Amino acid sequence: MTQGHSDTSDRLYTRDELDRYAAAAGDPLTDPLGPPPSWTPDQTREVPVVETATAPPPPPPAAPSAATPAAPPAAPPAAPPAAPPAAVPAAAPAAVLTDEPRRFMTATDFLDRRAEETDSGPATWGWRGLLNRWSGGLFRLAMGPAEQDHEQQRSVIQRDFDGPRTIAFINPKGGAAKTTGVLAAGYTFGTVRGGGVVAWDNNETRGTLGIRGTRSTHRNTTRELLEDLERFTDVYQSRIGDLGAFVRSQGDAHFDVLASDERPDVTGMIHADDFAAVHALLERFYRIILVDTGNNMRAENWLASAAEADLLVVTSTVREDTGYSGLWMLDALQDAGHTDIKHKCITVLSDPSPKVDDKLAADLVAVYEQRTRAVYRVPYDAALVAGSVVPYAELSAATRRSWLAACAGMAEAL
């Protein structure tokens, strides 16, 4: 473009020209039929000429040699293409906000924060608890580390699961504290969670869980439940109250016991299909199923319980033969294809007497820590080794604390 060009359609107008045009146009809403504005653009404004870059001239052609015939004269060079109109520079993009938009606290966030800020309460143990009681509320000393751990373990045990959970207690040797371990775990889970727990004697023939737990007015066992399983086929009509004719309530311990066969005239065994049927029924009515297993690792129901369990608890006493039996069992499970055996197992190591071999205990703890995800020690308690009905109220404070820690570990693993 050149200066003073009469055609203004291909140039940009200044802001002053646009303002004058707007003033002359009037308001189309108030006078839509008015005459068009009388306005002419400024023809004297200098419009800068846009210079286009030109390609460098080609090098002169080389003179033809005598051996080469002369080429015909080249055509005249074509005129260079017209330069495109100057592009209007785009407006700079708005600054990008780097700060994320503020997220307001939701109702759930509010409750979660309140739960985190909630005080666990004043101390009730030791000298802190003593001062809190004697002061009549004047002092409110916080819990010590041991009491805080105790409350934390209770919270872990009380957590909700997304479905029923099965824990099998295993060791192929008799006297490895499987039955007492199931009862102690049932007492702990039952009292801390408030119910929803059943201990099931999955012995293929006859176990002792029924005689170590609190007696009932009936003598029904797994065998009778299998014979009457059809009454629970209808999932809409069957009730947990109907199951009360087969399980035995443990009273203040807040869990039930399903005993194994106690009839001396029965010669049959519990098979894998029987285990599956009873297990499916118990999953409908209980949140935690504790399975006491027999000593025959080759029995169908033993293998079924090991396969279906969400967690395996290896029970052992501080004895060389019992500890060896548990390790041999882990080797067999590993060879049978249980590749996740370390993450699926924990160990509960019980003292069978007031005095045990400390060196042997340390060795067992060390080796089971290599084979399972955690090891929990349980002290000797005469209430558990007497062989009679377990008096839950008479369990020592040390036994209760040890089993609380062990059950918290089980809940954490689940």
CATH code, 168 = 3.40.50.300
pLDDT in tens, the chain (414 residues): 444 444 545 556 677 766 776 676 655 555 555 555 555 555 555 555 555 545 555 555 544 444 444 444 445 555 555 555 555 555 545 545 556 666 778 888 888 777 666 667 777 777 777 777 787 777 777 777 888 888 899 999 999 999 999 999 999 999 999 999 999 999 999 999 999 999 999 988 788 899 999 988 899 999 999 999 999 988 888 888 999 999 999 999 999 999 998 777 666 788 999 999 999 999 999 999 999 999 999 999 999 999 999 999 999 999 999 999 999 999 999 999 888 899 999 999 999 999 999 999 999 999 999 999 999 999 999 999 888 899 999 999 999 999 999 999 999 999
| Whether residue 288 is found in the same domain as residue 376 | yes
Nearest Cα residue to 309 out of 410, 173, 162, 175: 410
> Of 158, 175, 203, which residue constitutes the final position of a domain?
158
Q: Provide the token pair at 50.
A: 């846009």
Torsions phi, psi of 204, nearest 5?
Answer: -70, -20
Instruction: With beta carbons less than 8 A apart as the criterion, state whether 197 and 287 touch.
Output: yes
Please give the Cα distance from 331 to 146 (Å, whole number).
Answer: 37
| Whether residue 340 is found in the same domain as residue 305 | yes
| Whether residue 259 is found in the same domain as residue 390 | yes
> Of 158, 181, 216, which residue constitutes the final position of a domain?
158
Instruction: With beta carbons less than 8 A apart as the criterion, state whether 217 and 304 touch.
Output: no
Q: Residue 196: left if φ>0, alpha if ψ -120 to 50, beta else—which one?
A: left
Q: Provide the token pair at 264.
A: 């001396």
The pLDDT value recorded for residue 67 is 42
The pLDDT value recorded for residue 128 is 76
Beta-carbon contacts of 398 under 8 Å, excluding residues fewer than 6 positions away, are 379, 381
- The one-letter amino acid code at 100 reads E
165 within domain boundaries: yes
Domain count, the chain: 2
Longest dimension (CA), the chain: 130
The pLDDT value recorded for residue 102 is 65
3-state secondary structure of 413: helix
| Whether residue 127 is found in the same domain as residue 241 | no
336 within domain boundaries: yes
The H or E element that residue 197 is part of is strand 197-201
| Whether residue 331 is found in the same domain as residue 366 | yes
Nearest Cα residue to 312 out of 196, 174, 410: 410
The pLDDT value recorded for residue 90 is 53
| Whether residue 150 is found in the same domain as residue 166 | no
Please give the Cα distance from 221 to 120 (Å, whole number).
Answer: 43
| Whether residue 134 is found in the same domain as residue 250 | no
Range of the domain at 134: 123-158
325 within domain boundaries: yes
28 within domain boundaries: no
Alpha helix positions (H), 158-299: 178-193, 209-212, 222-227, 240-243, 272-285
Please give the Cα distance from 88 to 73 (Å, whole number).
Answer: 43
234 within domain boundaries: yes
> Of 158, 174, 209, which residue constitutes the final position of a domain?
158
Instruction: With beta carbons less than 8 A apart as the criterion, state whether 257 and 214 touch.
Output: yes
Q: How, if at all, do strands 288-292 and 248-249 pair? A: unpaired
Calculated CA dihedral for residues 168, 174, 177, 181, nearest 10 degrees? 30
90 within domain boundaries: no
| Whether residue 153 is found in the same domain as residue 165 | no
297 within domain boundaries: yes
| Whether residue 202 is found in the same domain as residue 154 | no
CA torsion through residues 294, 298, 301, 304, sign: positive
| Whether residue 262 is found in the same domain as residue 127 | no
Crossing angle of helices 145-157/178-193, nearest 10°?
Answer: 90
| Whether residue 214 is found in the same domain as residue 131 | no
Instruction: With beta carbons less than 8 A apart as the criterion, state whether 250 and 184 touch.
Output: no
200 within domain boundaries: yes
| Whether residue 274 is found in the same domain as residue 138 | no
